């Protein structure tokens, strides 16, 4: 497997060593790994530099953070900065890896098996699980929504969709999956392929879960979610996502808030039409994924 990794990192001194060690233990190593320090004010840069001095395929990249950019948009711009250093590399897959993740040693080996099995697969990932009190709690994802923190793209797909859109409120991973499907690619998350998210949701810069859910509702608005689909989604999240009941309410409140505030969307009209059409099909077909979009492989 010829692959490269790009990691955006901002104030990750507590976790980034574990992330790097988990990549060092991979059964298939990357050709190049660019780790972009996105203006950290802690010891993140020193840790990256220490590893980069030992391994020629790890490259430290410094990016000056733009205070006008939101945290989520800045993260995407950091990824773009890292990609600039890949131009001379001949690779088939590009992986994005957050700096607070620990991967199982065979993660990228299994990803290679998945891509080999399904030529039309453009984006894939495992599933993040928060490490809480020594136990892993899975994130709630749709099968076709791959988590940016551990995403892997087929290079042709990444180039065709133009990578990530720097979204103000996040959701760039969901947007990328929609774009890929609009261009005829399959996207699929393997929930049985678990990775450890060492910084559980709600313990980072945004440490209030209701604010996070509210922001996710604004994000859904930015991704042009169909109102009927969004209503059903939020009802489901009331019982599937913590904090229970109020989680779904907070999401829907964020969606309604963005609507009445007139938040501008950052995606083109053709993508808006595609997203709403796909979501309506899911509503009227009981959320069943069409057979032609499914990926069937046993890990």
pLDDT tens figures, 237-275: 999 888 899 999 999 999 999 999 999 899 999 999 999
Q: Which residue has the higher pLDDT, 292 or 195?
A: 195
Residues 6+ apart with CB under 8 A from 77: 38, 63, 66, 69, 166
- pLDDT band at 202; cut points 50, 70, 90: low
Query: What mean pLDDT is reported for the chain?
Result: 93
Q: What is the spatial distance between Cα 285 and Cα 11, in angstroms, rounded to a whole number?
A: 44
Q: Does position 168 have pLDDT exceeding 90, yes or no?
A: yes
8 A C-beta contact, residue 240 and residue 186: no
Tokens for 268, please give them. Answer: 């083109």
CA angle, 241 then 242 then 244, to 5°: 85
End-to-end CA distance of the chain: 17
- pTM, two decimal places: 0.94
Residue keyed to tokens 């497997």? 1
Span 276-297, average pLDDT: 88
Shortest CA distance to 38 belongs to which of 15, 17, 67?
A: 67
**22-53 residues labelled b (16+ CB within 10 A) or e (exposed):** bbeebeeebebbbbbbbbbeeebbebbeebbe
């Amino acid at each position: 497997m010829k692959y490269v990794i790009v990691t955006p990192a901002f104030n990750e001194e507590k976790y980034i060593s574990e992330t790097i060690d988990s990549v060092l233990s991979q059964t298939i190593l990357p050709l190049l790994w660019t780790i972009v320090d996105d203006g950290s004010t802690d010891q993140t840069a020193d840790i990256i530099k220490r590893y980069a001095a030992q391994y020629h395929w790890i490259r430290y990249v410094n990016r000056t953070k733009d205070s006008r950019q939101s945290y989520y948009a800045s993260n995407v711009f950091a990824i773009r900065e890292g990609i600039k250093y890949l131009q001379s590399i001949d690779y088939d897959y590009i992986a994005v890896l957050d700096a607070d993740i620990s991967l199982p040693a065979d993660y990228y080996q299994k990803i290679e098996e998945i891509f080999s099995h399904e030529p039309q697969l453009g984006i894939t990932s495992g599933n993040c699980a928060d490490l809480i009190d020594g136990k892993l709690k899975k994130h709630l994802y749709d099968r076709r929504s791959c988590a940016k923190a551990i995403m892997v793209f087929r290079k042709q797909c990444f180039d065709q969709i133009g990578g990530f859109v720097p979204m103000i409120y996040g959701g760039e991973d969901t947007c990328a999956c929609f774009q890929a499907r609009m261009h005829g690619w399959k996207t699929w998350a393997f929930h049985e392929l678990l990775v450890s998210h060492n910084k559980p949701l709600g313990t980072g810069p945004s440490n209030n879960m209701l604010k996070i859910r509210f922001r996710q509702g604004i994000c859904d608005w930015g991704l042009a979610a169909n109102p009927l689909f969004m209503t059903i989604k939020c009802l489901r999240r009331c019982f599937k996502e913590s904090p229970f009941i109020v989680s779904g309410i907070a999401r829907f409140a964020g969606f309604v808030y963005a609507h009445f505030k007139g938040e501008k969307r950052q995606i083109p009209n053709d993508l808006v039409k595609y997203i709403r059409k796909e979501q309506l099909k899911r509503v009227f077909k009981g959320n069943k994924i069409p057979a032609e979009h499914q990926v069937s492989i046993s890990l």
